Amino acid sequence: MASVKPVKQLRRMSPEKLVRHDLGEDEKRTPIPLLIREAAGNSSRGISLEILKRAARKCQACDLWKNATQTVFGNGSARARVMLVGEQPGDREDIEGEPFVGPAGKLLREAMLQAGIDLGDVYLSNVVKHFRWEASARGKRRIHKKPRQSEIDACHPWLEAELEALSPQVLVCLGATAAKAMLGNKFSVSRDRGKVVPSPLPCVVLATIHPSSILRSPDTESRHAEMEAFVRDLRTVAQLIAGN
């Protein structure tokens, strides 16, 4: 996993140390730790999710910002006990500026309700915070493109900072991109979905499928079966936060 200095240490570092001087003009982007510090201003309180969200608006850590409408940062209660992480915002999320507001998000909410997870106890985010897309053949639609590893790595400090600011009890990785980003490239969702995974993170971690894969089911029967299995994985999350 890419690493960033704990946000608590960032304020004490001089800007000189935070800026990379070995890069060409084009690559001299404001580093994420510096964006966070600027957004924090001289607030004496800790780095909150609100500060991080404000800081991330200016993120240019990779090139995805160039074709996206805006940064789509995580969203949810600052006291949420469950953090769910997806891949990247889609078309709807890019327009609205909130994660999981499109069809996959609708299905995710429905599954959480069925599993008994209180939506007010949830914080939703993504491994990558800008929409990666290409124009359809006729140029009328924006087609989702999987983020590159370099983009996932560039965005990782935001995820670490969100985890530190939120300190959730349970982290749920939705789909292979999120699972590999948090648990390493060898992690297989199909093999280990719904199980608590050993991890150095200071919370319980598990992975399940991405809700968009249910939307791609070839027929009603498999869609139902996929949904049931998804709800089953999320019930494990509900039990974990209930202390069972």
76 sits near ligand URA (criterion: CB under 6 A) = no
Whole-number minimum distance, CB 244 to ligand URA, in Å?
Answer: 28
* Contact call for residues 171 and 85 (beta carbons, < 8 A): yes
Instruction: Tell me which of 51, 59, 84, 126 binds ligand URA, using CB under 6 A.
Output: 126
The gap from C-alpha 179 to its chain's centroid, in whole angstroms, comes to: 11
Dump strand ranges (E) for 9-167: 75-76, 82-86, 122-126, 133-135, 142-144
The nearer residue to ligand URA, 84 or 161, going by C-beta atoms, is 84
Instruction: Tell me which of 88, 122, 205, 206 binds ligand URA, using CB under 6 A.
Output: 88
The nearer residue to ligand URA, 34 or 183, going by C-beta atoms, is 183
Residue 217: how many CB atoms within 10 A of its CB? 14
Whole-number minimum distance, CB 130 to ligand URA, in Å?
Answer: 11
Whole-number minimum distance, CB 142 to ligand URA, in Å?
Answer: 13
Which strands form 204-208's sheet, in the order they lie side by side? 75-76, 122-126, 82-86, 170-174, 204-208, 196-197
* Helical spans, DSSP H, in 167-216: 175-183, 189-192, 211-215
Between CA 164 and CA 114 the distance in angstroms is 29
Instruction: Tell me which of 35, 52, 59, 104 binds ligand URA, using CB under 6 A.
Output: 104
194 sits near ligand URA (criterion: CB under 6 A) = no
How many residues interact with ligand URA (rule CB under 6 A)? 13
Beta pairing partners, 174: 208
* Binding window for ligand URA (CB under 6 A); candidates: 5-13, 41-49, 87-95, 234-242: 87-95
- 99: closest CA among 131, 67, 121? 131
* Positions that interact with ligand URA (CB under 6 A): 86-90, 93, 99-100, 102, 104-105, 126, 212
